[in-house]
Amino acid sequence: MELALLVLIGAPLVAGLLSLGARRRRWMEWLQCAHAAVLLAAMSVVVINVAEGSVITVGILLRADALSVFLDLMLAFVGATGLLYALGYMGEELTRGHVLHRRYNRFFCLFNLYLFAMLLAANVDNIALMWIAIEGSTLSAALLIGFEKTKAALEAGWKYIILSFVGIALALFGTVLVYYASEHVLGVSMEALRWEELYRVAPDLNPTALKLAFVFVLIGYGTKAGVAPMHTWLPDAHGEAPTPVSAMLSGLMLNLALYAVLRLKSIVDRTVGVDFTGPILLALGLLSVAIAAIFLLVQRDYKRLFAYSSIEHVGIALVGFGVGGPVGVFGGLFHMFNHALAKSTAFYAAGMVVLRRGHKTIERVTGLIRQMPLVGGSMLLAGLALAGMPPFGLFISEVLIATEAYGQRPWVAYVFLSLLAVAFATLLYQVSRMALGEPTEEDIPVTDRTRRFTTSALVVNLAAMGYAGTHMPGFLRDLFIPMTRLFGVMVEIP
Amino acid sequence: MGAIRPDIASQMVDLCSALLLLTCFAIVAQRRLSACVDLFALQSVFLAVTAALVAFLTGIHHIYIAALLTVIIKVIVIPRILKKVIERLNVTRELVLNVNIPSSLLICGALVILAFYITQPIISLGFLLTKDSLAIALAIVLIGFFTMIARKKAVTQVVGFLVIENGLFLGATAAAYGMPLIVELGVFFDVLVAGLIIGIFTHRLQDTFDSVDTSKLTELRE
């Protein structure tokens, strides 16, 4: 079990270093496919063990409980399909001569290091080391966003650097405040930073210090999660980054940042009760949904469209955690999971459109389903899922969150549902206008070699998305019970 | 703590932290880019002295390592990178600011008061030796934040970011007697890499836009 956890975290690091030495494209393809397989295998072992009720610890540095493993599940699964997709996408860029072989290798090195930093952050048993790992993911993401070196990519990269570095600095201040409070109880030592110890002594910590810490951490990691009003870097970064990176940013990094906020919430709630963190999360969540719903309307660029949809979905999850209760917390977590699947599918499809049409303007893209049935179909299905249509998981979580909100404060449910209706209509309109109709533009053909990778990534993701929407896998159900217990509630899943 | 009386020791730490805060104001009042970088290096010297002082007074030896790393990374390496960037630029002074200097100084004064007000309820948790450091650390973080908003040039925004880092570091070493060593090493590594990445990006901005004026980054708008 320990070994599986170490392999899961170590594989991306090893693969990242090896990929710098891949002299041929074929070597890179073998390397990354093996990497994806190892990720999936190690993740399955870890998930199955933790779902049976154990907590995996390695020394004093790593600890995988249900919440960490929930993140591992998303990181490894979407990471693996992301690797396949990136092989196709970047391979095509290589064939067309848009990137040189050295930069192709460097892309995969950064991409793997990015996965490594995120996996480490999710499993490290230490609030400060988690900060370091998240900062590491920020740094690698900055280089990935600016990878294409165009004016727009540079601008997006710069905005990302400035906003998220400041955000992450504030999160460090919050972390220092937690330490400041906990060393008062536990003494100046490593113990004062470990999750288990923090959970144990949480009721004795100074409430004011923890409240202050939560505010700093929320602003800090909230910036990385794209929570309004700190979201302004997000559409630019998602729009301008190479598409495999956009998919990872949206599907994985936002969830990782939410994970960090949730960890803190679960500690602060034990100290001061849910009445402090709940309303703050609820307010920011509603604001994010509102801003996203408005800006979805005016988008002309389909990658930015999906980026704003990510802000919306982060907001929905926050509303779930904000209203709290077993149903709200479960809804929020389930929402994160399904969003990771649906949004990465949407970006995989969007990336294929970028390759085959050569631009990102919504108005000029029509008739995708006729011209490229798989890509168009996946985009339409992912669009339906993201808009919140049944039979996809996002529908279930949105209904659950709305129900819980209605039970507590009806006005929250009214506001929430009206905003969702606006977002639903616009997203569906924009996506169906691209997918349906007559194609008006020439298709730029992609090589079969590219298609092999991108198609498998799309199909696997679509299958997982459909499966999770209609059926709750047993291991996932077993994970949800200890996860919700972390927030002081118990969920009952039929 | 040896022969030094506790109240004198506490005042020495306070003096050093206050000098850190003072250099923040100097940075806010400075228009010349290279002088801003020099002031940042000076501030890092004060930071290293504060850390060394805390290490000496408390006997927690690993804080010496942090002080040493501060000297290497923040006094020598990062200022040198920034100076290199400035050499390539076509401007040495920042003529147009988002907020003019007298109002900036007033706002920073208000930020200091705010920082002391916010931290008032939790000051009692800290150690006697460094009881005011947390408030000063927060004040430095807020001023760094403000500098990033008030300035337009990429280089001064970077200096603002580094000032925030210094404030955080003061908070970690002085107020909390240093994080465990592995954490500090990690933080330093991240700061160093962040400095390098920012350097790379500023180069690319200069090459692509022929300027480091961030108000020219206007392609991505709604």
The whole-angstrom separation of Cα A167 and Cα A60 is 28
DSSP string, A57-109: EETTTEEE-HHHHHHHHHHHHHHHHHHHHHHHHHHHHHHTTSS-HHHHHHHHH
| Nearest residue, CB atoms, B180 vs list A146, A193, A298 | A193
Task: Decide: residue A255, CB within 10 A, 0-12 exposed, 13-18 middle, 19+ buried.
Answer: buried
Contact yes or no for B127/B14 (Cβ under 8 A)? no
The whole-angstrom separation of Cα A111 and Cα A79 is 10
pLDDT in tens, chain B (222 residues): 456 777 888 888 889 999 999 999 999 998 888 899 999 999 999 999 999 988 888 888 888 988 998 899 899 988 988 888 888 777 777 767 888 889 999 999 999 999 999 988 887 777 767 778 889 999 999 999 899 888 888 888 888 988 998 998 888 887 777 778 778 888 888 888 888 888 788 878 877 877 777 777 777 766
Listed by number, the residues of chain A in 137-196 with a beta carbon closer than 8 Å to a beta carbon of chain B are 139, 142-143, 146, 149, 151-152, 154-159, 161-162, 165-166, 169-170, 172-173, 176-177, 179-181, 183-184, 188-190, 193
The whole-angstrom separation of Cα B96 and Cα A289 is 36
Distance of CA B31 to CAs B145, B156, B179, Å? Answer: 17, 9, 35
E strands, B73-122, are none
Nearest residue in B to A168, CA atom = B165
Q: By three-state DSSP, how is residue B210 classified?
A: coil
Four-residue CA torsion sign, A244, A249, A251, A252: positive
Residue A156 contacts by C-beta under 8 Å, 6 or more apart in sequence? A145, A146, A233, A236, A237, A239, A240, A241, B220
pLDDT for A32-85, tens place per residue? 999 999 999 999 999 999 998 889 999 888 999 999 999 999 999 999 999 999
The whole-angstrom separation of Cα A43 and Cα A35 is 12
B183: alpha, beta or left, given left = phi > 0 and alpha = psi -120 to 50?
Answer: alpha
Average pLDDT value over all residues in chain A? 92
The whole-angstrom separation of Cα A127 and Cα A125 is 7
Mutate which of A125, A129, A132 to test chain B, going by most B C-beta atoms within 10 A? Answer: A132
pLDDT at A277 over 90: yes
Q: Please state at what angle helix B78-87 crosses helix B33-58, rounded to 10 degrees.
A: 180
Contact yes or no for A88/A452 (Cβ under 8 A)? yes
Q: What is the pLDDT of residue A456?
A: 95
Candidate ranges A186-195, A453-462, B170-179; pick with highest mean pLDDT: A453-462
Higher-confidence residue of B84 and A246: namely A246
Name the β-bridge partners of A63. Answer: A57
Residue A67 contacts by C-beta under 8 Å, 6 or more apart in sequence? A259, A262, A263, A266, A483, A486
Nearest C-alpha neighbor of B137 from the set B53, B10, B7, B20: B20
Contact yes or no for A174/A216 (Cβ under 8 A)? yes
In the numeric block, which tokens belong to residue A419? Answer: 């905003």
Listed by number, the residues of chain A in 224-263 with a beta carbon closer than 8 Å to a beta carbon of chain B are 235-236, 239-240
Measure the CA dihedral A360/A366/A369/A371, to 10°.
-90
In which element (H, E) is residue A6 found? helix A2-19
In the numeric block, which tokens belong to residue A377? Answer: 């179909």
The whole-angstrom separation of Cα B93 and Cα B109 is 24
**Cis peptide bond prior to A229, omega within 30° of 0:** yes
- pTM of the model as a whole: 0.93
Distance of CA A85 to CAs A180, A386, A465, B77, B103, Å? Answer: 44, 20, 16, 39, 52
Task: Identify all chain B residues contacting A139, using CB atoms and an 8 Å cutoff.
Answer: 190, 193-194, 197
DSSP string, A208-237: HHHHHHHHHHHHHHHHHHT-TTS-THHHHH
Whether chain B has a CB inside 8 Å of the CB on A478: the answer is: no
Q: What is the pLDDT of residue A411?
A: 94
Q: Residue A124: phi, psi to the nearest 5?
A: -80, 140
Mutate which of A161, A210, A271, A305 to test chain B, going by most B C-beta atoms within 10 A? Answer: A161
| Nearest residue, CB atoms, B220 vs list A149, A155, A166 | A155
Q: What is the pLDDT of residue B153?
A: 80
In the numeric block, which tokens belong to residue A427? Answer: 């997203």
The whole-angstrom separation of Cα A137 and Cα A150 is 22
Render the burial of B17-36: b for 16+ CB within 10 Å, e for the rest. bebbbebbbebbebeebbeb
Q: By three-state DSSP, how is residue A148 classified?
A: helix
DSSP string, A339-364: HHHHHHHHHHHHHHHHHHHS--BTTT
The whole-angstrom separation of Cα A114 and Cα A279 is 33
pLDDT for A278-330, tens place per residue? 999 999 999 999 999 999 989 999 999 999 999 999 999 999 999 988 899 99
Name the β-bridge partners of B93. Answer: B32
Name the β-bridge partners of B213. Answer: B153
Name the β-bridge partners of A68. Answer: none
In the numeric block, which tokens belong to residue A446? Answer: 């992609």
Nearest C-alpha neighbor of A240 from the set A351, A148, A362, A153: A153
**Cis peptide bond prior to A391, omega within 30° of 0:** yes
Alpha carbon B174 to its chain centroid, in Å, reads 14
Quote the DSSP letter at residue A487: T
The whole-angstrom separation of Cα B120 and Cα A470 is 53
Nearest C-alpha neighbor of A426 from the set A247, A255, A304: A304
| Nearest residue, CB atoms, A154 vs list B145, B194, B204 | B204
Distance from the Cα of A430 to chain B's closest Cα (Å) equals 16
ipTM: 0.90
The whole-angstrom separation of Cα A256 and Cα A199 is 20
Q: By three-state DSSP, how is residue A195 classified?
A: helix
The whole-angstrom separation of Cα A303 and Cα A354 is 9
Mutate which of B130, B161, B179, B204 to test chain A, going by most A C-beta atoms within 10 A? Answer: B179
Q: By three-state DSSP, how is residue B131 classified?
A: coil
Whether chain A has a CB inside 8 Å of the CB on B91: the answer is: no
Q: For chain B, how far is it from start to end, CA to CA, in angstroms?
A: 59
Whether chain A has a CB inside 8 Å of the CB on B157: the answer is: yes
Higher-confidence residue of B100 and A261: namely A261
| Nearest residue, CB atoms, B205 vs list A126, A158, A179 | A158
Q: What is the pLDDT of residue B1?
A: 46
Measure the CA dihedral A246/A248/A251/A255, to 10°.
-120
Mutate which of B183, B192, B200, B218 to test chain A, going by most A C-beta atoms within 10 A? Answer: B183
In the numeric block, which tokens belong to residue A494? Answer: 């039929």
The whole-angstrom separation of Cα B213 and Cα B195 is 19
In the numeric block, which tokens belong to residue A231? Answer: 């979201």
